[in-house]
Amino acid sequence: MAYFDAASATPLHPVARQALLASLDEGWADPARLYREGRKARMLLDAAREAAAEAVGCRADEVVFTPSGTRAVHMGIAGALAGRRRVGRHLIVSAVEHSCVLHSAEVCEAEGGDVTRVAVSRTGAVDPSGYARALRADTALACLQSANHEVGTVQPVAEVAEVCRAAGVPLLVDAAQSLGWGPVEGDWSLLAASAHKWGGPSGVGLLVVRKGVRYAAQGPVDERESGRAPGFENIPAVVAAVASLRAVRAEADREAARLGELTRRIRDRVPELVPDVEVVGDAGRRLPGIVTFSCLYVDGEALLHELDRAGFSVSSGSSCTSGTLTPSHVLKAMGVLSEGNVRVSLPAGTAEEDVERFLRVLPRAVADVREKLGAPVPVTAVRAEELVVDSLGKRCPIPVIELAKVFGEVPVGGLVRVLSDDEAARLDIPAWCEMRGQQYVGEEPAEQGTAYLVRRVS
């Protein structure tokens, strides 16, 4: 089985396993106690904090270990907002942040705050000028991921940090996807990360709060972790997390070059091997191990099952794989095709032959899913040079399939009106037009659902 979902979680690094087992015997005691066992535990915890600080590029007393990366984000945002409550309750985030950041933004709004969501380009990147325009006199905090978790696009953190610093606004960086590859550049103020993204054990996060940043921990406070993360530290897991971070950093340059070449191979060859595919994300400014593409006329969940049966573990941002039947917020913000979406994220050590086998298996898997879907004959009615396609009650990717099957029946200049009540159609029909070189006219209310208008230009 080839595991290609490292962006979700990375297999435990051998160094992490060794460190975890070794520290189980030495790091079980309370590090706050003065007897021998407590002192041993304290030495392990202090050494781990120093090593983590070196990897991040900060002071050791700025590092707090948390129960997860999500918890680090929640604590970082809540504490920074509370610390600057006299300034205001305005929060800035990008539209493609991880859900844990967006959930914190929703809490901010529910508590009377104001949130600005900065748009991204079709490659998934923010423009620093977007943050500059969003800054206000009452802005308490800005947040930006270092790299996107779904499409791999690296964000201009240093430039955004400079804009925020000039306005006196702290910037929190979610570095979960990138910290294993190197420190985050720029004059950021807070940083969050998660050990299971770089080969450490799950249940360990990092929160860094730079000196001078106004921060007020929320909830009950005790004496541990500078009062910012209450509860007994899981010292063996912390030690293993930091040991693995140092180990992957030592291998990062070599692995980045190797995995970067493998993902470039996937980006280049998938469109050649599979018709009607859109590869998404920035082609150059990206993490080395992630490549994402979407396939027209494909049910995402069915494709993932086909690939699983073929021996490949991949993930998807397709609406067809979610219980909500809505597309990934990342793909939606980018304005790219969401149906039949596949994210390949290669862990360190991925073999070249596994990538080649994936490229051999993928075309057949996509073809099988398309064949099984069958694309039922749409109910149509012709009105002069306009064709109406009734796809009400049908889910991704059927509306687009039905559009494609009848599109040739209208003359050049003619109009196809697709009736759909599937939220994914709002994203996927314009994306189909972009890929096909046809004109997406827009949408308008219908008696049921929404009518999406497509004009044939060629």
User: How far apart, in whole angstroms, are the C-alpha atoms of residue 304 and residue 298?
Assistant: 10
Q: Is 433 one of the catalytic residues?
A: no
Give me the torsion for CA of 137, 143, 147, 153, rounded to 10°: -40
- Choice among 108, 164, 320, 433 that is catalytic: 320
Which residues are annotated as catalytic?
320
